[in-house]
């Protein structure tokens, strides 16, 4: 067994040690700062040593995603489809929040690993067991999309002013000036972004509640799924309607 600089014997490397260290490192440093070299250093090993345990960086990322999937609660056995889906998604969401890198990692993966397929299979299974036709289950899973993983579809963070990051603290005057400018340039965004507080009756700006937004969209979709399910929706009739010649 090899020894480190202190001459103490060192635990052997193995795939899960590599993956778990990578996960921990990505948690603290962010996915961009996770390099093979940095990871090797963390494991007190030369970079190339990692390649005995992962094929390449792609494989490392795949493995990290698998670690994450294992943290997601298994489907609740007795629940009806709606609660089963809801629980699973919200559990996935929690796992994703523990690992901020995960969203990017999952989305950048080119091909699904067995673990990913298994995860998606369980969703399909829940819908089918709930009496969904394969047809409806298919479309419904597409509609769920990233939300299956608990992704919030960011991309609209009304509370984020443009380029207001580098300066750690803004003077109240500067803030007010920026707000005024925002209001001028993007009046609707400002209206909408500050809406949540108004309706609450609260005064302070507290940003928006990601969890609430996530569940809002999720339940909107689940409501829609339920309605279609009840009324025996089928894609054939919709297609016919849109394209009667066929």
Partner DNA sequence: GCGTGAGGCGTACGCTGTACACTTGTCACG
Partner DNA sequence: CGTGACAAGTGTACAGCGTACGCCTCACGC
Within residues 182-221, the interface with DNA by CB under 7 A covers none
From 53, 82, 86, 109, residue interacting with DNA (rule: CB under 7 A): 53
**Angstrom distance (rounded) from CA 242 to CA 246:** 9
From 83, 124, 178, 179, residue interacting with a second copy (rule: CB under 8 A): 124
Is 114 a binder of a second copy (CB under 8 A)? yes
Is 52 a binder of DNA (CB under 7 A)? yes
What is the CA angle 19-22-26, rounded to 5?
Answer: 140
Is 147 a binder of a second copy (CB under 8 A)? yes
Nearer to DNA by Cβ, of 3 and 230: the residue is 3
Shortest CB 116 distance to a second copy, Å: 9
Residues 100-136, buried b or exposed e (16+ Cβ, 10 A)? ebbbebbeeeeeebebbeebeeebeebbeebebbeeb
Query: How many residues form the binding site for DNA (CB under 7 A)?
Result: 23
Tell which positions 31-50 bind DNA, by CB under 7 A: 34-38, 45-49
Residues 55-90, buried b or exposed e (16+ Cβ, 10 A)? eeeeebbbbbbbbbbeebeebeeeeebbebbbbbbb
Q: Are 147 and 218 in contact (CB under 8 A)?
A: yes
Per-residue string for binding with a second copy, 184-203, x by CB under 8 A? -xxxxx-xxxxxx-xxxx--
Task: Specify whether the backbone of 103 is left (phi greater than 0), alpha (psi in -120 to 50) or beta.
Answer: alpha
Nearer to DNA by Cβ, of 50 and 196: the residue is 50
Tell which positions 158-177 bind a second copy, by CB under 8 A: 158, 160, 162-165
Query: How many residues form the binding site for a second copy (CB under 8 A)?
Result: 78
Is 108 a binder of DNA (CB under 7 A)? no
**Angstrom distance (rounded) from CA 12 to CA 82:** 45
Is 9 a binder of DNA (CB under 7 A)? yes
Q: What are phi and psi of 61, to 5 degrees?
A: -60, -45
Is 138 a binder of DNA (CB under 7 A)? no
From 13, 67, 106, 222, residue interacting with DNA (rule: CB under 7 A): 13
Is 24 a binder of DNA (CB under 7 A)? no
């Amino acid at each position: 067994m090899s020894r480190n600089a202190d001459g103490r014997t060192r635990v052997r490397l193995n795939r899960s040690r590599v993956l778990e260290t990578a996960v921990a490192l990505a948690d603290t440093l962010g996915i961009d700062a996770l390099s093979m070299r940095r990871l090797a250093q963390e494991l007190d090993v030369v970079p190339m040593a990692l390649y005995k345990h992962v094929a390449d960086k792609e494989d490392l990322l795949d493995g990290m995603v698998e670690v994450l999937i294992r943290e997601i609660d298994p489907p609740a056995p007795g629940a009806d489809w709606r609660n089963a889906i809801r629980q699973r998604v919200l559990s996935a969401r929690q796992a994703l929040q523990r690992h901020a890198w995960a969203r990017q990692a999952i989305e950048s993966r080119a091909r699904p690993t067995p673990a990913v397929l298994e995860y998606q299979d369980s969703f399909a299974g829940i819908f089918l067991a709930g009496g969904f036709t394969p047809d409806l289950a298919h479309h419904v899973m597409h509609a769920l999309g990233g939300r299956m993983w608990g992704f919030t579809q960011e991309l609209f963070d009304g509370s984020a002013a443009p380029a207001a990051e580098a300066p750690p603290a803004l003077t109240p005057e500067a803030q007010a000036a920026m707000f005024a400018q925002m209001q001028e340039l993007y009046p609707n965004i400002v209206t909408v972004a500050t809406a949540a507080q108004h309706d609450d009756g609260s005064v302070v700006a507290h940003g928006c509640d990601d969890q609430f937004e996530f569940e809002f969209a999720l339940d909107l979709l689940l409501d829609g799924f339920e309605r279609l399910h009840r009324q025996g929706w089928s894609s054939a009739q919709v297609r016919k309607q849109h394209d009667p010649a066929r």
